Amino acid sequence: MKFFTRTIFIIFLIAIYAFFIEPFSIKKSYLNIKKDIKTPIKIIDITDLHIYKYIFFHEKILNEIKKEKPDLILYTGDSIIKNTDKNSLNKFFKKLSEIAPVYAVYGNWDYYNLNMVNDVYNTNNIHLINDNSISLYYGNFTLKLIGLPIYKKLSYTDTTSASYTIVMEHIPDTIFYNKEAFDQANLILAGHTHGGQVYIPFITKLFLKKYAFYLRGEKKFSNNKLMYINRGLGAWFNIRLFSSPEILVITISNN
C-alpha cells in the first residue's frame, strides 16, 4: 500500500512539473563558431513558437533574447496552432523585430493559416526566406542564409560563395531533398521535433523516428558540417518533460 501511495505521489509531482513548470522554463544553449572575422556576429536561433495567447512566458522569451544583444535572429517556423490569436502573434513578432532583424522560414503548422502568418510577418518586417536565399554583409565577411521549403527541393539554388552559409529548415529531413544546399552548408538549423517534447532516452527516439532522423542538439556530418535541432519554445500540447524550451545563441568570431 505504501509503495502504491508513493508511486501515485511521484506521478503527481512529475505531472505538475511537466504541465506547469518545464513548459515555461527556458534553457539557453551556446554554439561558438571560429572564423576569420574582425567583429563577432551574435545570432539567436529560435523555433516552434506555437503561440495561442500572449502570456508572461512570451515576455520572458523576449527578455532572454534581449539580454544577448543579438545582431540577427533566425526563426525556423511553426508560429501558430489552429486557434492562434492574431493580435498575440502580432505582438510577439513586433517586439521580436525591435530587438534585431529577423529571418524566417515556414513550419508545417503555419500552413493552417498562412494568410495570418504572412500578414503578421509583413506588418513587422519579418524577412521570409522560405524557398529562397539571401547574403548579409559584415565588412568583408559574407553570411549566406538559405531557407528550405518543407519536404521539397529549392526552386533555385544560389551557389554564390560566402564566408559562412547557414541553411534554415523546419523539418530536419528536408536537407536530404536539397543536396546542393547541403553541399554549401556550414551549419543547418532545424526545429519541428520539440526535442521529443517528452524525452525518455531510446523510447522517445523510437516513437518519433518517422518524423525526424535526429531529435535534438548537435549532429555532425563529414567535412565539418553541423546540424543543430532546436527544441523550440512552444508545443502543440502544453507538456514538456526533460526537453525544456530552448534559445540557441550562436557566436561567429575569431576566438
In this predicted model, what pLDDT tens digit does every residue of 3-17 receive, in sequence order?
677 888 888 898 899
Helix axes 114-123, 86-97, angle to 10 degrees: 40
- Burial category of 132 from C-beta neighbours within 10 Å (exposed 0-12, middle 13-18, buried 19 and up): middle
Given the C-alpha cell 506547469, which residue does it identify?
20
Q: In this structure, which amino acid lies at residue 200?
A: I
Ranges 41-45, 149-153, 193-197, 201-205: which has the least confidence: 201-205
Number of domains in the chain: 1
Confidence of residue 26 (pLDDT cuts 50, 70, 90): very high
So what's the pLDDT on residue 224? 86
The CATH code of the domain that includes 184 is 3.60.21.10
Contact 147, 118 (CB under 8 A): no
177 Cβ contact list (under 8 Å, min separation 6): 148, 151, 152, 153
Ranges 11-20, 177-186, 206-215, 245-254: which has the least confidence: 206-215
So what's the pLDDT on residue 5? 79
Q: How far apart are CA 102 and CA 109, in angstroms?
A: 19
Tell me the pTM: 0.94
Q: How far apart are CA 49 and CA 118, in angstroms?
A: 15
- Per-residue pLDDT of 49-98, as tens digits, reads 999 999 999 999 999 999 999 999 999 999 999 999 999 999 999 999 99
Percentages of the chain per state (helix, strand, coil), in multiples of 5: 35, 25, 40
Residue 222 or 211, more confident: 222
Cα angle 153, 159, 221 (rounded to 5 degrees) comes to 70
Ranges 16-25, 175-184, 201-210, 229-238: which has the least confidence: 201-210
Q: How far apart are CA 61 and CA 80, in angstroms?
A: 16
So what's the pLDDT on residue 213? 80
So what's the pLDDT on residue 243? 92
So what's the pLDDT on residue 1? 62
Q: How far apart are CA 45 and CA 63, in angstroms?
A: 15
User: Domain limits at 147?
Assistant: 2-253
Q: How far apart are CA 174 and CA 153, in angstroms?
A: 8
